[in-house]
Amino acid sequence: MKFSSFLSSLKKKQILILVHFGADVDALCSAAALQFLLEKKGFNSVISVPDHLNSNAKKLSFELQIKYKKNFFPESDAIILVDFNSAEMLGSLKQEFLDSKKPVFVLDHHSIPSGFSFKNFLIDEKAVSCTEIVYFLFNEMKVHLTPKISLLLLSGLVTDSAGFRVVNKNTFFIAGNLLKKTKKSFIEVTELFETSRDLSERIALLKASKRARLFNLNGFVAVSSEVGSFESSAANALIKLGADLSFVVNTKNNKTALSARANSHFLNSTKISLPEILFFLEKKFNGKSGGHAGAAGFNGEKTESEKILAECIEITKKLIKEREGKISFKEYT
Q: Flag whether 149 is in a domain.
A: yes
22/59 same-domain check: yes
Q: Flag whether 260 is in a domain.
A: yes
169/309 same-domain check: no
Q: Residue 136's pLDDT is what?
A: 98
List the end-to-end C-alpha distance of the chain, in Å, as a whole number: 53
146/242 same-domain check: no
How many residues does the structure list for the chain? 333
* Residue finishing a domain among 157, 190, 223: 190
Closest CA to 313 of 263, 260, 267, 264: 260
The percent of the chain in helix, strand and coil, each rounded to the nearest 5, is: 45, 20, 35
Q: Flag whether 6 is in a domain.
A: no
162/230 same-domain check: no
**Residue 249 scores a pLDDT above 90:** yes
Strand 220-226 with 245-250, pairing: parallel
Please report, as a single letter, which amino acid is at residue 331: E
pLDDT-derived band at 113 (thresholds 50, 70, 90) equals confident
Q: Residue 71's pLDDT is what?
A: 96
Q: What is the CATH number of the domain that holds 162?
A: 3.90.1640.10
Range of the domain at 262: 204-332
User: Which pTM was predicted?
Assistant: 0.87
Domain count, the chain: 2
Q: Flag whether 304 is in a domain.
A: yes
Q: Residue 116's pLDDT is what?
A: 87
pLDDT-derived band at 115 (thresholds 50, 70, 90) equals confident
Q: What is the CATH number of the domain that holds 305?
A: 3.10.310.40
Q: Flag whether 8 is in a domain.
A: no
Q: Residue 166's pLDDT is what?
A: 87
pLDDT in tens, 56-69: 999 999 999 999 99
Per DSSP, 92 falls in state G
pLDDT in tens, 3-57: 999 999 998 889 999 999 999 999 999 999 999 999 999 999 999 999 999 999 9
227/266 same-domain check: yes
Mean pLDDT of the chain: 95
The answer for residues whose C-beta is within 8 angstroms of residue 9's C-beta and 6 or more apart is 1, 103
Please report, as a single letter, which amino acid is at residue 302: K
121/266 same-domain check: no
pLDDT-derived band at 252 (thresholds 50, 70, 90) equals confident
pLDDT in tens, 123-181: 999 999 999 999 999 999 999 999 999 999 999 999 999 899 889 999 999 999 999 99
Q: Residue 26's pLDDT is what?
A: 98
